[in-house]
Structure 1
């Protein structure tokens, strides 16, 4: 006789099943990994906050994606749903990056022993009109309760301290979801390969294809700033003259994370001649959506730029100038700066004045007022000595920016700090057009 009674599992298997659900919730669905984790860079970690369970998980590239390397309870906003405006006591949902770290001595007690700031609202949040700010992960000075914050992600103090070991500022993503969706390794691999092909095609369009071909990789709802394209087109042709073997846009340390129908990419971006040293541009973010089965960029930005590219030009333009710049011009502008310091040190103020353009402006003073003030100081002090070190000459569209550490000493005053001089060519000679000083 066949029994119609529903079979029961042995107690040991039931306990094991419950444990698997706790340590790896996706196991119940026949899936093994969070679908958000398309690609984690080498030696990087990802934080996922699941609002439904009020749990925080950390996944690591080193140990694989089958189970978290750290997990703990958390508390999110008192009100359900994604954040849309300031004061709504909701926690946002999306892919964010942690930007700053604060120890307890800089925090009020409500933030516990440590806090990390996020970049909410990010590019897409701003496009959607979302408001609010100051979304942090932090500790707490009170007992942790579910859904008890004003919108931040709160942890017990011992857990925020433990979590800090997994965080790299400007690189570790914070993914906040209502509920984690799990998928198979095979599907995750397919997504990873699709995004990799897309980024490779995008970079090829940037280095060798037309304006319209490049724009075909962008969603029609997002019009990127293309004011730099004509300059880039001219420069990339000149760069090929000096580097006929070609050059590439190189994307490295690439992290790819999915949430809410959008894929967020964070990578290190460089301009690299095929036979030469690559020029690091900075950390680049892409927001990629899907339309008709095709990937399209819905937003992009340099999350952080290389320090060398702070002249106001797009990093790609500044870097491309470096590919073909005349090294002798570098030496000329640095030599001009050194001769300018020598004139200043010798108190030859007439010669000193000749290093400036007629339309020079600094601190609200034109050339005449500026030189008059310097002459007054030269008469006041018995001696003046101006020296510099670590000279760097960066080409710009109309000249050079020379940055260096300047040391100033006189009979009545001494200081040192960072100096920047903008030089342009006038009547065949390099002249100082703008000046910037930041003392230490």
Structure 2
């Protein structure tokens, strides 16, 4: 983008140095431009039927694809297709897009924009980026300004700083996205949920693509539709407002952003025009939001149903079907004198207009053991001198765990974590079992199996006879393990590890799973399975 100070300095210098020669040149340019325009109009009239000028089709089909696959859902669509909201066929520039010939312009191959005419002056930080308590790791945020067709990358390690300022292209239609197919880029706070590499994409999408979570919970509440809003590269020349809703960059700039994008963590905030506020105002918002989130956490950990809901806007009713089970879990932990707590870490705060988005890692701790309870995001609005939650959702929850509340699942996960003493004991037992197996000591080997052992249709006796025959068949046997995990399941333990087996005639690596039970005061193998890797 050409900054106003640069333009003004150039114009003053131009008219002082060029004098009348510039005036005559200007008249010549006007005369030539008038003549070219007249010629273009005549040529278009001669080549178009009935004197009508031709225009570019409004079709959303990507160039080079005669019948693109229609994607209705990011999660269910095949990986190798292309999103409908992307680059459109080349078009002639609008009059407002043509730069005057006497204005200096950036070289066409340079899409890393100059930050400022005064490089020693720090770039101002937009008011959409709110300070938060950094946990030591540098966090990155991506900001898109549609009006100027610019994308910014900001780093935060206690203070914000601008890292990159890049040219981009957004939807060809103005305004925020409202319905599917409107060729508009949405505005708001979104997060990247996937990554598609070049081999999965058609050339029009460049070297890499990052799908976002549009439509998010606020979009769905507002009735906004559409999907497949991506940040991606391109194999075409980049033009302003030339996509069907995606944010498009040149491939080299996608490469610049890639190391700084973390799925379900790095936000992309899309606005029409950036605005700015004082650091004091941002700090005040941060402190008020932190206080609300802390009170909300306390209500979740020890409060009542009504105390929890008091943090929400009256017009928004969150899913609360899980509360009674969660309440019983808290009571059970209290009765057994096991300290139960809910912890929030890596809190990130950004905003779009009057709505603030807060993202954090949520976990549950029980008696010193901790389990993840998902990544949670809440949306806040400041009204009547206080913040209220207007929507909340979990970010990036796997499909297999969507049916249950992550808090409940985290508690159940904690109950499956064995006592560290059990883990050490089991690891030692397995080492002895593998030594006996490798040395063909069938008596010691068989001593590790329970009396009611079953596997592959064999009982303990049949299993040991099978192993005896293999011992006689092979000159040597070597068996080892790595990556041991132990999981508690009521009175039993589920043990998994990568097993490597080698003999003079056979070699294989796979995942071994054992179910152990107590028998005679010791852990014995009750069930055994193996799956080749």
**Partner Cα separation in structure 2 for residue 227 and residue 289 of structure 1:** 25
Q: Number of paired residues?
A: 396
User: Residue 266 of structure 1 contacts residue 286 of structure 1 at CA under 8 Å; is this kept in 2?
Assistant: yes
Q: Which residue of 1 aligns with 2:485?
A: 392
Q: Which residue of 2 aligns with 1:255?
A: 348
**Partner Cα separation in structure 2 for residue 218 and residue 401 of structure 1:** 42
Q: Which residue of 2 aligns with 1:36?
A: 128
**Partner Cα separation in structure 1 for residue 279 and residue 254 of structure 2:** 30
Q: Which has the higher contact order (CA 8 A, sep 6+)?
A: 1
- For residues 74-89 of structure 1, the aligned pairs below 5 Å read 74-83=168-177, 87-89=181-183
User: Over aligned residue pairs, what C-alpha RMSD do you find?
Assistant: 4.7
Q: 1:256 to 1:313 in 2, by over 3 A?
A: closer
TM-score, normalisation: structure 1: 0.69
User: Cα deviations across residues 321-357 of structure 1 (Å, max 9, x unaligned)?
Assistant: 379x644444566677778878988778998575658
TM-score, normalisation: structure 2: 0.59
Q: Which residue of 1 aligns with 2:284?
A: 190
- For residues 13-412 of structure 1, the aligned pairs below 5 Å read 33-39=125-131, 41=134, 42-62=137-157, 64-65=159-160, 68-83=162-177, 87-104=181-198, 107-125=201-219, 131-218=225-312, 220-224=316-320, 225-226=322-323, 228-230=325-327, 232-234=329-331, 236-237=333-334, 240-241=337-338, 248-259=341-352, 261-271=354-364, 279=370, 281=372, 284-290=375-381, 293-296=386-389, 298-301=391-394, 303=396, 314=408, 316-318=410-412, 320-321=414-415, 326-331=419-424, 354=451, 369=457, 381=470, 382=473, 387-395=480-488, 400-409=493-502
Q: Which residue of 2 aligns with 1:6?
A: none
Shift of 1:99: 3.9
Q: 1:193 to 1:405 in 2, by over 3 A?
A: same
SS across alignment from 1:183 = coil
Q: Which has the higher strand share?
A: 1
Q: 5+ residue gaps in structure 1?
A: 1-10, 16-21, 25-30, 306-310, 358-366
Shift of 1:229: 0.8
**Partner Cα separation in structure 2 for residue 377 and residue 133 of structure 1:** 57
SS across alignment from 1:175 = strand
**Which segment drifts farther, 278-287 or 46-55?**
278-287
SS across alignment from 1:119 = coil
User: Cα deviations across residues 33-84 of structure 1 (Å, max 9, x unaligned)?
Assistant: 423212354511210112233221122224844x733212211123344445
SS across alignment from 1:38 = coil
Shift of 1:217: 3.9
**Partner Cα separation in structure 2 for residue 227 and residue 331 of structure 1:** 37
User: Residue 131 of structure 2 contacts residue 159 of structure 2 at CA under 8 Å; is this kept in 1?
Assistant: no
